Structure 1
Amino acid sequence: MSADVLRVTELGKAFRDYGSEFKRFASWFGAKVKVREEHWVVRDISFSVGCGEAIGIVGQNGAGKSTLLKLVTRTLMPTKGSVEVNGRVAAILELGMGFSPDLTGRQNVYHAAGLMGFSREQIDAAMSEIERFAEIGNYFDEHVRTYSSGMQMRVAFSVATAFRPDILIVDEALSVGDAYFQHKCFKRIREFREQGTSLMIVSHDSSAIQSLCDRAILLQAGRVLKDGEPVEVMDAYNALIAERENSTVKTERLRDGQLQTISGTLEAVVESIHLYTESGQSVEFVDVGQAVELRIGVILKADIPRLVFGYLIKDRLGQAIFGTNTHHTKQVLAEVKAGQRVTYRVRFPMNLGPGTYSISTALVSTDTHLVDNYEWRDLAFVFTVANHSHPHFVGNAWIPPEFEVTAI
């Protein structure tokens, strides 16, 4: 990495209630005014972003994610700390980027790009590409008040990325777009990254964070809870979501260096997990398409009225490949007693592409770990798939085709 394009130091933002506008006004000029109420939304945040680096910002609602981005883009002024930016910033923080509903899409492009510092000649030169990328047809010359939220996002993203920035900052506005346009947006973001643009993105989409980002930052109550590898941060985020009263979250560094996250009340826990071949051999290396059995041993630490077991296969980036549970297969156990042991056997063909994968396990009461999370265990088992017996292919799924070729 070369020099940092963004450096945030001890950043904090407090919203204060002075009791009257006169006292607030007096505070601007340095007068010592007693604050009636003070609420810190962001506090003591420090991090840096290198040239070409991508950072994901995650956290639950109210964690301070959007406020942090507004402080970085200087649409909000900090109460304390500093933000140093070296380069041009393009940001999509809120749907429509402040578009006027009484102007057309084209007129709003001139207005928004002008505020970004571009001349009329530069905007004219880029206008046809902005219009082409947005793909809203004749609506481009209609008033924005007639637009759907998805159309507003199309124009907003098109103008924000018409000129490659040094730093691209994207809030969750992309989530309102249709699937086709989201793919276009992420393709452009990846192209910018290849050209050296740094990225800060807020998203609840773990796949987007893990596929786009080099690092992720987890915010909780306005502070940095974790800053590190996207897979580890997303595991911690999922554990945080699942955490309930009397539950625990613990992490452990495994022998291969990966950080395992376990959360839940631990009223039921996984005590063993192995992968077997059809002949009963325990393995960690599997051939593409090979029939296997995943065998999980569970022990009950308390009486549980309803027990559901689920598993999730992830690739090396932490993205979900396949998952299901006994709620969906209608094999729920009822009235399980403390001290009982349960064995789950899951048989399936290993129709995955070559690579390293991990299995996460969940012991819950329903189809989700957000109700009763007895135990959620990331990196419960790691295995490798190799292609020993099939023609070469690429990708993370083995979908054998039958070709029919006719030459005329």
Structure 2
Amino acid sequence: MSLMSVQGLGKAYRSYRSEWQRVARWFGLPSKPVEEHWVLRGVSFDIGAGEAVALIGQNGAGKSTLLKIITGTLHPTEGSVRLGGRIAAILELGMGFNPELTGRQNVLHAAGLMGFDARQIAAAMSDIEAFAEIGEYFEEPVRTYSSGMQMRVAFAVATAFRPDILIVDEALSVGDAYFQHKSFAKIREFQKQGTTLLIVSHDRNAVQAICDRALFLERGRVLMDGEPEAVMDYYNALIAEREGALSTVSVSKTADGRTQTVSGTGEASVESVGLFDANGRPLEFVDVGQPVVLRARVAVHADLPSLVFGYMIKDRLGQAIFGTNTYHLGLPIENLRRGERFDLAFAFKATLGVGSYSVATGLHATESHLSGNYEWRDLSLVFNVANISRETFVGVAWIPPELEFERDET
């Protein structure tokens, strides 16, 4: 069942020669603006009950405008939004807070605007104060708060009562790591209880850990709608494309149905990549802690003064587990000629937890693929880790401890 339906949404900011022309347009009379700037156009999507969706895009893409329209603080120029439940939103930091009122007074005001009566707010106040953890500042004016303290109070009041739909803008990037962990734990708790989530974040790990789906907004339009890993790969590839000259981005399906993104100028490419055991035999399943070798063959298609090869191991959600490159490993690869080929071998122990993993590869001119990106290839390799010979453990990393036990005999 769709809990949020956005259809043909558009928002334009218009300038008129006079205010009379603006008023005339309100009443449906012909009045042509002298300037018209669309920040959103033709945006349509549906979000089901209990679904977690990320909204990503560069600054100026229209994300905040879209959220304001969905929450009703801004009117659209065209299109419609239909919501199927109570909504709670954390948008611009401190939005709706009166800086002269105390934290407690602002909570009373904010929760009242959310539709809760005095009895409900009083019953939840102690939990809100405890969750925010700002101590005596709860009784001080908000103008004395740091940005992190404002975030704590805003999040605490917005999540004091479980909403049907929770919308969170970049606000969670403000503040300390402890409260961010606490906030995401709260969000996951709501997810389990059936809350629909729409979150704006540039944090790839957060997006892929929490969300089932991602919408990529570009210049006011939905450019891509799909699995978080595929959308984030495409988003990052476009950013790299804009940093480099003559770079291209392509999206295709792998044999197992995954979406693979490849970007770069094409001046060099990875011809093959594979994972092998110590005897050179190819591996599809790897034992926890097994010594392995990642081998790659690179073809050079233009004369290059320098080249850096890098790889990144990701878990099944696309979150980075480990990455490095020849620059950081102290191996210069210089003065390459068109038509050359070379091989690289990286030996390491697969101290990974049980699960499915992928390897992304990168070829670039300097230490980062954001500068001189010859090729970035996601899903270059997929492999699985199984626990065949180790003690039972959980998690994405195998970090075996040495256990000591000493009983006090006194």
TM-score, normalized by the shorter chain, greater than 0.5 = yes
Partner of 1:83: 81
2:361, 2:254 → 1: CA distance?
A: 16
Q: Deviations over 1:283-338 (max 9, x none)?
A: 12111111111111111111122211111000001010000112212223222221
2:277, 2:115 → 1: CA distance?
A: 63
2:351, 2:261 → 1: CA distance?
A: 27
Partner of 2:388: 388
Q: Name stretches of at least 5 consecutive residues in structure 1 with no aligned partner.
A: none
8 Å CA contact retained: 1:275, 1:292: yes
Q: Which amino acid in the other structure matches residue 405 of structure 2?
A: V
8 Å CA contact retained: 1:10, 1:44: yes
Query: Cα distance, 1:131 vs. partner?
Result: 0.3
Partner of 1:156: 154
2:174 to 173, 176, 181: 176
Query: Cα distance, 1:150 vs. partner?
Result: 0.3
Q: Deviations over 1:160-209 (max 9, x none)?
A: 11111000000000001210000110000011111110000000011111
1:285, 1:67 → 2: CA distance?
A: 47
1:21, 1:301 → 2: CA distance?
A: 60
| Aligned residue runs from structure 1 range 4-403, under 5 A | 4-244=2-242, 245-403=245-403
1:279, 1:315 → 2: CA distance?
A: 26
Q: Which amino acid in the other structure matches residue 323 of structure 1?
A: G
8 Å CA contact retained: 1:97, 1:112: no
User: SS of 1:103's equivalent?
Assistant: coil
1:79, 1:239 → 2: CA distance?
A: 32
Query: Cα distance, 1:247 vs. partner?
Result: 1.2
2:279, 2:81 → 1: CA distance?
A: 61
Q: 1:335 to 1:20 in 2, by over 3 A?
A: farther
2:275, 2:77 → 1: CA distance?
A: 54
Q: Deviations over 1:6-35 (max 9, x none)?
A: 100111111111133332222212221111
2:104, 2:305 → 1: CA distance?
A: 60
Query: Cα distance, 1:83 vs. partner?
Result: 0.1
8 Å CA contact retained: 1:269, 1:298: yes
1:103, 1:304 → 2: CA distance?
A: 62
User: SS of 1:129's equivalent?
Assistant: helix
Q: State TM-score, norm by structure 2.
A: 0.97
Q: Which amino acid in the other structure matches residue 134 of structure 1?
A: A
2:77, 2:31 → 1: CA distance?
A: 15
User: SS of 1:210's equivalent?
Assistant: helix
Query: Cα distance, 1:405 vs. partner?
Result: 2.0
Deviates more, 1:35-44 or 1:331-340: 331-340
1:220, 1:269 → 2: CA distance?
A: 28
Q: Which amino acid in the other structure matches residue 262 of structure 2?
A: I
Give aligned-pair identity as a percent: 64
1:34, 1:364 → 2: CA distance?
A: 50
User: SS of 1:243's equivalent?
Assistant: helix
2:288, 2:39 → 1: CA distance?
A: 50
Q: Deviations over 1:84-141 (max 9, x none)?
A: 0111100001101221111111111111111111112211111100000000000001
2:266, 2:99 → 1: CA distance?
A: 53
Instruction: Give the superposed CA RMSD.
Output: 1.1
Q: State TM-score, norm by structure 1.
A: 0.98
Q: Name stretches of at least 5 consecutive residues in structure 2 with no aligned partner.
A: none
Q: Which amino acid in the other structure matches residue 386 of structure 1?
A: A
User: SS of 2:166's equivalent?
Assistant: strand
1:375, 1:326 → 2: CA distance?
A: 15
2:103, 2:406 → 1: CA distance?
A: 49
Q: Which amino acid in the other structure matches residue 190 of structure 2?
A: F
User: SS of 1:260's equivalent?
Assistant: strand
